[in-house]
Structure 1
Amino acid sequence: MHAMNEVVVIGGGYAGVMAANRMTKRADVRVTLINPREVFVPRLRMHQVVGGTHEGVVDYRDVLAEGVRLVVGSVTRIDAADRRVLLAEGDSIAYDYLIYAVGSGNAAPPVPGVSEFAYPVATLEAARRLRSVLFDTPSAAAVTVVGGGPAGVETAAELAGQGRAVTLVCGDALVAYLHPKARRTAHRYLAKLGVTVIEGRAAAVTKVTAEAVELADGRTLASAVTIWSAGFGVPDLATQSGLSTDAAGRLLTDETLTSVDDERIVAAGDSSAPSDLPFRMSAYSAYCLGAHAADTLLHRIAGEQPEPIDMSFPAMCLSFGRDAGIYQLGHKNETGMRLYFSGSVGKKLKEVACSAGIKHLATEAEKPGSHHWFSDGKHRPTLLAQRGSAATPVA
């Protein structure tokens, strides 16, 4: 009888769940998933949680393979030498292999007043808190959303669609990934919803108070509720555990997603930095990276050589309230194509994308190893060559 391989997955988001499900492909693997919450959170829905049009939770029974043990708790340290993770509750769990998929959350921007007076939206708890604050705020009160990425744009549109007076401060450009043609469409949608868009470097936020937002060009915007969606941060678990990370705290790996410090540790999702060149943060990237991280361990357990990751970010989808959306197709070098879908078609494609992520996880739970993605061997080698580096990162 073969000994069981104990695999611990830290993080129950798109990457962690996909990896955990895929690991059940082998009968001699026992998987434990550790997550702070007892429910799965589809991060693509946080703007809807804020607006009260979606609860933003999915039962783990709907996405997690039956053979995976779910432990609700928080890991405070990884003891790589002893192959053990320590939990906040004081317990510890031993592992033979570890999948690091802790995801991302609210950033801590060095702007005066943000931590005291602004409301983040990156996590379920933050989105719920903001929803409660807005419930107690008159609908005519000024709302300012800081951040021109998908989270900021979708939150601004969601609230404006409910009749709120919203100003969106988006720095250099509105959703930098969009093709200029699609960006013009996005501006039209926001204008139709009544959102005031302020962009450009002079519009950078320099201070937030309880009642206003101050900009670099000297303007002061009245703001009863200020929402901060500019950037994400990753947990410092890898750093605190003495593992090599990039400047943002992501776990440094090679192109197989294996930690540069320990071949028994792999990383996936927002908290991973293959060759110090992270993939674009997205649900799609996360569950594809989760699948590849699992494949790396499955190869290693089988005594086979793991393969390098080959994946790209194929599209970005945005919703503008409940009636319109943009589905922007992208090149493999992660620039937006001229081709995009808008209006009700874009909205439907956005909803399909949101639902597809959950469906992929559920399918992988039933048929581990079934998830596939497009690859042609061209994307990562090109980017790495442009960086003037080999596939091995520098710690």
Structure 2
Amino acid sequence: MSENIQVVVLGGGYGGVKAANRLARRAGLSVTLVNPRPDFVERIRLHQLVTGSDDAVESFGELLGRNVRLVVGTATLIEPVERRVTLAGGDTLAYDYLVYAVGSGASAPDVPGAAEFAHMVADLDGARRLREALADTPSTAPVTVVGAGLTGVETAAELAETGRLVTLVCGGVLGPSLHARGRRPVARRLAALGVRVLEGPGTRVTEVTRDAVRLEDGRDVAGAVTVWTAGFRVPGLAAYSGLTTDAHGRLVTDPTLTSVDDDRIVAAGDAGVITGRPVRMSCQAAVQLGTGAAGTILRRIAGKSPSPVRLLFAGQCLSLGREEGVTQFSYLDDRVNALHLSGRPAAGVKEIACRSTLRQLVSGARKASSRPVRDDGLGPRRNVPA
């Protein structure tokens, strides 16, 4: 197989776009990206959408190369034997290789009343509904944010900076992915913004009502709007299609990101998990996984064995409103260390991280829009025939 190889990429997030653009640079490949909506969602800015400081949406016209075909739709079934994907509505797409990059979203909380009364901020539609709900709520009314991961902390700070009365219910430790020293400036900034932080034993939410949440220790926390940021889920497409998944529904892969069931299916982003090596869900990981997934496919097309994907991490950046933030540094394997940056400089680092990630995708689109070249996944070399 050397020409007219069909590659289908399921999912137009950070990993999917990165993989599609890299693959589209090779001559003889036809790349189709399937995504439920016609625009790219900057998930790392969804908390800004809630308060109106950003719309968190970019055009695929800027982020996808001209050699990538965009299909707006949702995959409902993968048939590995037939090498075929079925879309909602009945259309099908044949593939020679498939990139599984369907991403993740907010998990449906297994807490009474949460599905009915709580708002999500992990996807575009949820963030937009939350913004509308806040617009219909008096600015003096209390808001409760459930979940003290990075999304919860950023959302709480963003709302408080606009003057909202915010309570952050941690259900455990504030900022569990941060080093203990990195949590301190987060706590100080939240306190300065007037955020009431409830953490430690007994703060797990056991029930959500229209105007309050009930905690494990029996306390009721009033809130005209409840924002649920605890937990993520992945679509059930892989499991429904009979592929091996873990307990969270993620496609199980080997170290080259290849499905343990089928060497024509490669994962990128939150919806995949490497056997024995779980990776923290993040855009920092997704862009590297997208590159790795493309490299695995390109090496197989060239008749070479793919190499294990190596991921390198620098740390975690979080914004605490528009004026301050915290940058938590880590070792290259994503283990956090005591080094951190806080205040206005850290807010600048977070903004640079957001913009540079988008610039990576734009750069990839430009390369994919140029005349395709032979690429075996080994990187640039001299005298490679076009």
Under TM normalisation by the shorter chain, which class is it? Answer: over 0.9
CA contact (8 A) 2:2 2:301 kept: no
Give the letter aligned to residue 75 of structure 2: V
Give the letter aligned to residue 24 of structure 1: A
Residues 1:108 and 2:108 aligned together: yes
CA contact (8 A) 1:331 1:337 kept: yes
Aligned to 1:94: 94
Give the letter aligned to residue 64 of structure 2: L
- Of stretches 326-335 and 258-267 in structure 1, the one that deviates more from structure 2 is 326-335
Measured against aligned partners, the alpha-carbon deviations of 1:294-326 in whole angstroms (never above 9, x if no partner) come to 000000000011000111332101111110011
Take 2:333 and 2:35, find their aligned partners in 1: how far apart are those partners?
A: 33
Q: Secondary structure at the match of 2:110?
A: coil
- Of stretches 10-19 and 332-341 in structure 1, the one that deviates more from structure 2 is 332-341
Q: Secondary structure at the match of 1:345?
A: helix
Take 2:172 and 2:88, find their aligned partners in 1: how far apart are those partners?
A: 40
Take 1:203 and 1:358, find their aligned partners in 2: how far apart are those partners?
A: 37
Aligned to 1:329: 329
Q: Show structure 2 runs of 5+ residues with no match.
A: 369-374, 379-386
1:269-288 to 2 correspondences below 5 Å: 269-288=269-288
Measured against aligned partners, the alpha-carbon deviations of 1:19-78 in whole angstroms (never above 9, x if no partner) come to 000002310111000000100001000100111111010001111111000000000000
CA contact (8 A) 2:65 2:367 kept: no
Residues 1:21 and 2:21 aligned together: yes
Take 1:178 and 1:245, find their aligned partners in 2: how far apart are those partners?
A: 28
Q: Secondary structure at the match of 2:325?
A: strand
Aligned to 1:391: none
Aligned to 2:237: 237
Give the letter aligned to residue 69 of structure 1: R
Measured against aligned partners, the alpha-carbon deviations of 1:236-275 in whole angstroms (never above 9, x if no partner) come to 0000000000000000000000000000000010001111
Give the letter aligned to residue 241 of structure 1: S
Aligned to 1:345: 345
Shift of 1:172: 1.5
Shift of 1:3: 2.8
CA contact (8 A) 2:311 2:333 kept: no
1:125-144 to 2 correspondences below 5 Å: 125-144=125-144
- Of stretches 147-156 and 272-281 in structure 1, the one that deviates more from structure 2 is 272-281
CA contact (8 A) 1:48 1:54 kept: yes
Take 2:181 and 2:59, find their aligned partners in 1: how far apart are those partners?
A: 39
Give the letter aligned to residue 307 of structure 1: S
**TM-score, with length taken from structure 1:** 0.92
Aligned length: 372
Take 1:367 and 1:333, find their aligned partners in 2: how far apart are those partners?
A: 29
Aligned to 2:78: 78
Take 2:67 and 2:25, find their aligned partners in 1: how far apart are those partners?
A: 10
Aligned to 1:6: 6
1:178-327 to 2 correspondences below 5 Å: 178-327=178-327
Take 2:65 and 2:174, find their aligned partners in 1: how far apart are those partners?
A: 39
CA contact (8 A) 2:256 2:293 kept: yes
CA contact (8 A) 1:299 1:305 kept: yes
Q: Secondary structure at the match of 2:183?
A: helix
Aligned to 2:381: none
Take 1:5 and 1:333, find their aligned partners in 2: how far apart are those partners?
A: 35
Give percent identity, aligned residues only. 54
- Of stretches 336-345 and 66-75 in structure 1, the one that deviates more from structure 2 is 336-345
Take 2:7 and 2:272, find their aligned partners in 1: how far apart are those partners?
A: 18
Take 1:320 and 1:5, find their aligned partners in 2: how far apart are those partners?
A: 46
Give the letter aligned to residue 18 of structure 2: M
Take 2:74 and 2:319, find their aligned partners in 1: how far apart are those partners?
A: 32
Aligned to 1:381: none
**TM-score, with length taken from structure 2:** 0.94
Take 2:160 and 2:221, find their aligned partners in 1: how far apart are those partners?
A: 17
CA contact (8 A) 2:166 2:196 kept: yes
CA contact (8 A) 1:177 1:335 kept: no
Q: After TM superposition, what 4+ stretches of structure 1 lie above 4 angstroms from structure 2?
A: none
